[in-house]
């Protein structure tokens, strides 16, 4: 396998993970106008919870779903108990979510210690498999497929269901949506829980590749931010495109300019800000 | 009366090394003052311009790293300080040009991303910044032949700069420029209609804020004689924001009280618990929920309320709107 091919596969995998992470972030930001700075913590917390569930003997996929649900429950509590009280108060929302992310990070450090924890690749997906005459690492292929499936499901949810229509209405014009009889505040909770679940789930299935360690949250959060700034808030297609752009830049940047990989990542974001501040697929400026 | 109280406060601060007892406390006082300078700078944006920044640790760090790098290459202190401030302002021009593309939340997110870029450089660009190991410098400068090596001497130098920063803030707040900055916070559209250049006003406020952040960064470098990526992490930006907000945004005294509070808590807390971050996070959450307008206005409101409570006939004070609730443009 040549280097470029490996890099491309890794980029697509990272892009898939980032999509799961940022789709929720983008919807929360687009619908609720809340910059959810705990989103990286949801990712990390999901992964940590899964390590404990796996140690109790749960299967990988069960652990991934259950960790996601636990994270979603926490997200729901945060939304109901705290963010609900701060409508429109951006500064307060930034502070609360940031404060919560510090607290979550510290609790994780206390419970799971500072050592990185590896999550084993699930049985049956280890090794490599051949396709079209090329050999792919099976698990990375699986992640890409899962991300694609979720992209399709989320698109169908948003574009084809009544709930999706209500969410889109809420993103475009919350006041009118309210007037039209849509229970926007219930939508908020649903979207927040869904976003948290996706982030937690992504943390678990990313575990075998990234492993879990303190600081993972603050590493993932800026990536989600970049994706959303690139793609435009509240746009699923924007998240998808943005995620793969960031996935490719990160992996290729790391191979070509190892010291500047992190900076290379932000360059397209800067470009988009200058040329098109609402993001590639966003409708309104941030 | 106010002038008198101010004079007393300055005298007390000036003779602090003589009565505070012990280098440890003098050093804590220096830390408070240097963070107060930083918080005052950040308050120009957060408080007066209504633009919440989470990337100012980047500017703080650029100043410190530039100076550290130049000093380790045997440039003099004067050249290092001038170079550091020049590069900080240049970075601020870029930061402002990019982040002012957004207002409100967009601004916050872009500053987070910009701050993380600086962190990425500090952490990963090892040939320039020495990565996680940071850069140590040989010693403190001796302006006008006075060595700043001793804690007391360094304290007095920091105090001088702190008083300059406060003076510049007093002038700023009273100046037409300060008024127009507040105008762009409260009524950006009306300011625009009145013929003010809203973007330019915010841009200049950003540079003013960056200048004092850079000065604070230099003091941080000389205080620790060491820089590491930790000083440019998101936590550092969050800490200074906590100082501004816990004290009360858009007030002169707020950031100073906030800086004192956070530095003292950090020093006290670290003596008892190993995890400052949890406390920091919990304070954020508590402040937002219980005292959304900050300690200084919050206490003032409490005092007003207590006074009026004794005279039942007086009208009940109307609570001030929470800071940051104004939407830009």
pLDDT tens for A128-185 read: 776 666 677 888 888 888 999 999 998 898 888 888 888 888 877 878 888 888 888 8
The answer as to whether A159 is a domain residue is: yes
Number of domains in chain B: 1
Test the A interface: residue of B324, B326, B327, B328 with most A CBs within 10 Å: B324
The answer as to whether B324 is a domain residue is: no
The answer, yes or no, to whether residue A42 has pLDDT greater than 90, is: yes
Residue B175's pLDDT is what?
Answer: 92
Residue B320's pLDDT is what?
Answer: 46
The answer as to whether A129 is a domain residue is: no
Phi, psi of B292 (to 5 degrees): -60, -20
The answer as to whether B261 is a domain residue is: yes
pTM of the predicted protein model: 0.82
Across chain B, which distance is largest between two alpha carbons, in Å?
A: 70
Weakest-pLDDT range from A65-74, A228-237, B168-177, B188-197: A228-237
Nearest CA to B109 out of A270, A144, A23 is that of A270
Question: Closest approach of chain A CAs to the CA of B47, in angstroms?
Answer: 11
**Rounded distance between C-alpha atoms, residue A183 and residue A3, angstroms:** 51
| Cβ contact A116:A211 at 8 Å | yes
Q: What is the CATH number of the domain that holds A29?
A: 1.10.3470
Domain that holds residue A158: 3-124+136-275
**Rounded distance between C-alpha atoms, residue A160 and residue B269, angstroms:** 53
Residue B325's pLDDT is what?
Answer: 42
Q: A280: which 2 tokens? A: 């590639």
Phi, psi of B136 (to 5 degrees): -100, 150
Q: Does B124 touch chain A (CB under 8 A)?
A: yes
Q: What is the CATH number of the domain that holds B261?
A: 1.10.3470
What is the residue whose two structure tokens read 């982040």?
B99
Name every residue whose Cβ is closer than 8 Å to that of residue B171 and which is 6 or more positions away in sequence: none
The answer as to whether B55 is a domain residue is: yes
The answer, yes or no, to whether residue A43 has pLDDT greater than 90, is: yes
The answer as to whether B4 is a domain residue is: no
Cβ contact, residue pair A100, B280, below 8 Å: no
The answer as to whether A281 is a domain residue is: no
3-state SS track over chain A:
CCHHHHHHHHHHHHHHHHHHHHHHHHHHHHHHCCCCCCHHHHHHHHHHHHHHHHHCCCCHHHHHHHHHHHHHHHHHHHHHHCHHHCCCCHHHHHHHHHHHHHHHHHHHHHHHCCCCECCCCCCCCCCEEEECCEEEEHHHHHHHHHHHHHHHHHHHHHHHCHHHHHHHHHHHCHHHHHHCCCCHHHHHHHHHHHHHHHHHHHHHHHHHHHCECCCHHHHHHHHHHHHHHHHCCCCHHHHHHHHHHHHHHHHHHHHHCHHHHHHHCCHHHHHHHHHCCCCCCCCCCC
Residue B279's pLDDT is what?
Answer: 82
Domain that holds residue B215: 21-310
Q: Does B238 touch chain A (CB under 8 A)?
A: yes
For B270, half-sphere exposure in the C-beta direction (CA atoms, 13 angstrom radius) is 7
The answer as to whether A282 is a domain residue is: no
**Rounded distance between C-alpha atoms, residue B198 and residue B200, angstroms:** 6
Phi, psi of B246 (to 5 degrees): -65, -35
Give the three-state DSSP class for B63. helix
**Rounded distance between C-alpha atoms, residue B25 and residue B18, angstroms:** 11
The answer as to whether B117 is a domain residue is: yes
Name every residue whose Cβ is closer than 8 Å to that of residue A4 and which is 6 or more positions away in sequence: none
Q: Is B136 exposed, middle or buried (0-12, 13-18, 19+ CB in 10 A)?
A: middle
Residue with the bigger pLDDT between B20 and A186: it is: A186
- For residue B280, which residues of chain A lie inside 8 Å, CB to CB? 99, 102
Q: Considering CB atoms only, which of B98, B125, B233 is closest to A273?
A: B98
Number of domains in chain A: 1
The answer as to whether B74 is a domain residue is: yes
Q: A150: which 2 tokens? A: 């979720």
Name every residue whose Cβ is closer than 8 Å to that of residue A158 and which is 6 or more positions away in sequence: A164, A167, A168, A236
| Cβ contact A224:A40 at 8 Å | yes
Residue B317's pLDDT is what?
Answer: 46
Residue B296's pLDDT is what?
Answer: 65
The ranges of chain B with pLDDT < 50 are: 313-329
The answer as to whether B229 is a domain residue is: yes
**Rounded distance between C-alpha atoms, residue B95 and residue B208, angstroms:** 13
The predicted model gives A248-255 an average pLDDT of 86
Residue B294's pLDDT is what?
Answer: 62
Q: Does B112 touch chain A (CB under 8 A)?
A: yes
Q: Is B230 exposed, middle or buried (0-12, 13-18, 19+ CB in 10 A)?
A: middle
Cβ contact, residue pair A29, B241, below 8 Å: no
Question: Closest approach of chain A CAs to the CA of B107, in angstroms?
Answer: 8
What is the residue whose two structure tokens read 């994780």?
A108
Weakest-pLDDT range from A14-18, A112-116, B296-300: B296-300
Residue B328's pLDDT is what?
Answer: 38
Nearest CA to A123 out of A199, A54, A66 is that of A54
**Rounded distance between C-alpha atoms, residue A63 and residue B193, angstroms:** 58
Q: Considering CB atoms only, which of B98, B120, B245 is closest to A263?
A: B120
Residue B84's pLDDT is what?
Answer: 92
What is the residue whose two structure tokens read 């100073």?
B256
Instruction: Please report, for residues A121, A124, A249, B9, B280, the alpha-carbon distance to residue A139 in angstroms, rounded to integers and kept in the order given.
Output: 7, 9, 21, 66, 39
Instruction: Please report, for residues A27, A34, A38, B283, the alpha-carbon distance to residue A192 in angstroms, rounded to integers and kept in the order given.
Output: 8, 10, 11, 24
Cβ contact, residue pair A98, B289, below 8 Å: no
The answer as to whether B7 is a domain residue is: no
pLDDT cut 70: percent of chain A above it: 95
The answer as to whether A234 is a domain residue is: yes
Cβ contact, residue pair A102, B126, below 8 Å: no
Q: Which ipTM score applies to this complex?
A: 0.75
Q: What angle do CA A78, A91, A282 make, to 5 degrees?
A: 85
Instruction: Identify the sign of the CA torsion B179, B185, B187, B188.
Output: positive
| Strand pairing report for B226-227 and B135-136 | antiparallel
Residue B310's pLDDT is what?
Answer: 63
| Digit-coded pLDDT (tens) for B81-129 | 899 999 999 999 999 998 888 777 778 888 888 888 888 888 888 888 8
Q: Does B292 touch chain A (CB under 8 A)?
A: yes
Q: A219: which 2 tokens? A: 């590493």
Q: What letter does residue B44 receive in the DSSP assignment?
A: I
**Rounded distance between C-alpha atoms, residue A283 and residue B16, angstroms:** 57
| Cβ contact B31:B39 at 8 Å | no
Question: Closest approach of chain B CAs to the CA of A46, in angstroms?
Answer: 19
Between helix B198-224 and helix B23-43 the angle, nearest 10°, is: 170
**Rounded distance between C-alpha atoms, residue A230 and residue A219, angstroms:** 17
Q: B244: which 2 tokens? A: 């501004």
Cβ contact, residue pair B52, A29, below 8 Å: no
| Cβ contact A146:A83 at 8 Å | no
Residue with the bigger pLDDT between A193 and B273: it is: A193
Residue B315's pLDDT is what?
Answer: 47
| Cβ contact B326:B50 at 8 Å | yes
Question: Closest approach of chain A CAs to the CA of B231, in angstroms?
Answer: 15
């Amino acid at each position: 396998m040549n280097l470029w091919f490996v890099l491309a596969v890794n980029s697509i995998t990272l892009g898939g993970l980032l999509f799961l992470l940022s789709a929720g972030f983008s919807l929360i930001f687009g619908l609720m106008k809340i910059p959810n700075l705990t989103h990286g913590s949801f990712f990390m917390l999901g992964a940590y919870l899964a390590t404990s569930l796996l140690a109790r003997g749960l299967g990988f996929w069960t652990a991934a779903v259950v960790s996601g649900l636990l994270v979603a429950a926490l997200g729901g509590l945060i939304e109901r108990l705290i963010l609900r009280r701060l409508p429109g108060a951006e500064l307060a929302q930034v502070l609360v979510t940031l404060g919560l992310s510090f607290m979550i990070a510290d609790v994780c450090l206390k419970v799971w210690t500072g050592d990185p924890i590896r999550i084993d690749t699930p049985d049956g997906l280890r090794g490599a498999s051949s396709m079209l005459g090329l050999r792919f690492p099976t698990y990375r292929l699986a992640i890409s497929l899962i991300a694609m499936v979720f992209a399709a499901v989320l698109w169908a949810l948003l574009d084809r269901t009544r709930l999706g229509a209500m969410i889109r209405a809420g993103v475009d014009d919350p006041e009118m949506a309210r007037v039209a009889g849509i229970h926007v505040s219930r939508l908020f909770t649903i979207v927040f829980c869904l976003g948290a679940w996706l982030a937690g789930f992504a943390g678990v299935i990313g575990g075998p590749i990234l492993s879990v360690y303190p600081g993972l949250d603050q590493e993932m959060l800026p990536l989600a931010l970049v994706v959303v700034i690139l793609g435009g808030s509240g746009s699923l297609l924007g998240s998808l495109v943005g995620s793969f752009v960031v996935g490719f830049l990160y992996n290729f940047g790391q191979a070509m300019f190892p010291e500047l990989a992190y900076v290379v990542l932000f360059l397209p974001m800067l470009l988009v800000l200058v040329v098109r501040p609402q993001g590639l697929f966003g409708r309104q400026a941030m | 009366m106010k002038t008198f109280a101010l004079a007393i406060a300055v005298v007390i601060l000036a003779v602090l090394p003589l009565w505070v007892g012990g280098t440890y406390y003098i050093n804590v006082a220096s830390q408070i003052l240097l963070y107060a300078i930083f918080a005052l700078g950040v308050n120009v944006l957060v408080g007066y311009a209504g633009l919440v920044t989470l990337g100012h640790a980047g500017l703080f760090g650029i100043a410190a790293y530039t100076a550290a790098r130049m000093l380790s290459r045997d440039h003099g202190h004067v050249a290092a300080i001038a170079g550091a401030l020049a590069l900080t302002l240049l970075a601020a021009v870029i930061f402002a040009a990019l982040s002012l593309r957004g207002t409100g939340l967009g601004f916050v997110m872009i500053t987070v991303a910009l701050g993380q870029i600086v962190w990425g450089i500090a952490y990963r660009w090892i040939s320039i910044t020495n990565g996680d190991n940071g850069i140590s410098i040989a010693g403190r400068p001796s302006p006008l032949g006075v060595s700043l090596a001793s804690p007391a001497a360094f304290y007095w130098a920091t105090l001088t700069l702190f008083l300059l920063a406060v003076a510049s803030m007093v002038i700023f707040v009273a100046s037409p420029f300060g008024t127009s900055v507040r105008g762009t916070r409260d009524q950006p559209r009306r300011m625009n209609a009145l013929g003010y250049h809203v973007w330019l006003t915010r841009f200049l406020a950003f540079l003013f804020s960056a200048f004092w952040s850079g000065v604070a960064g230099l003091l941080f470098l000389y205080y620790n004689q060491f820089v590491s990526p930790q000083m440019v992490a998101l936590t550092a930006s969050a800490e200074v924001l906590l100082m501004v907000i816990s004290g009360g945004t858009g007030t002169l005294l707020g950031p100073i009280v906030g800086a004192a509070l956070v530095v003292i808590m950090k020093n006290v807390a670290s003596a008892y618990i190993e995890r400052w971050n949890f406390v920091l996070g919990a304070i954020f959450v508590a402040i937002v929920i219980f005292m959304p307008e900050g300690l200084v206005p919050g206490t003032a409101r409490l005092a007003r309320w207590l006074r009026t409570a004794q005279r039942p006939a007086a009208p009940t004070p109307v609570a001030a709107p929470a800071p940051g609730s104004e939407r830009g443009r």
